Amino acid sequence: QVQLVESGGGLVQAGGSLRLSCAASGRTSNSYAMAWFRQVHGKEREFVGGIRWSDVSTYYADSVKGRFTVSIDNGKNMVYLQMNSLKPEDTAVYYCAARTPTVVYNPALYGYWGQGTQVFVSS
């Protein structure tokens, strides 16, 4: 079992920045891939970015490429999503997810999820 807990959401003005954190515990290992998804009420969960523990390869949705950065702190079992140049359309609940062995864009293929953290970007 893997437990994931997100933090760092909040209210920010357009153009601002936020850093989300995901604390991973339980049976974590370098075989896992971590991802961030977001969801707006009434819409499907959308892939944002991901990273593999094994080689720190990163993957991003086109909508956030160049603005968002996924990183890990291996010693602390933490995954981060640095969000810069935020736009109102980035408003969503952001979720951390884990699976093995690699990052995929389909949320149905992730077995572990955090509870989500709300990000609201005002115009």
Q: What is the DSSP string of 3-24?
A: EEEEE--EEEETT--EEEEEEE
> What is the pLDDT at residue 1?
86
Read off the tokens for 60. 């991003």
Distance between CA 19 and CA 110 in Å, rounded? 22
Q: Which whole-number Å values give the CA distances from 122 to 37, 59, 95, in the listed order? A: 20, 27, 20
pLDDT digits (tens, 9 = 90+) for 70-94: 999 988 899 999 999 999 999 999 9
- Residue 88 preceded by cis peptide, ω within 30: no
Q: Which whole-number Å values give the CA distances from 49 to 58, 107, 123, in the listed order? A: 7, 12, 24
Q: Which of 53-71 are b and which e, b meaning 16 or more Cβ less than 10 Å from the residue's Cβ?
A: beeeeebbbeebeeebbbe
In a 3-state reduction of DSSP, which class is residue 101? coil
pLDDT digits (tens, 9 = 90+) for 35-63: 999 999 999 999 999 999 889 999 999 99
Question: In the predicted model, is pLDDT for residue 28 greater than 80?
Answer: no
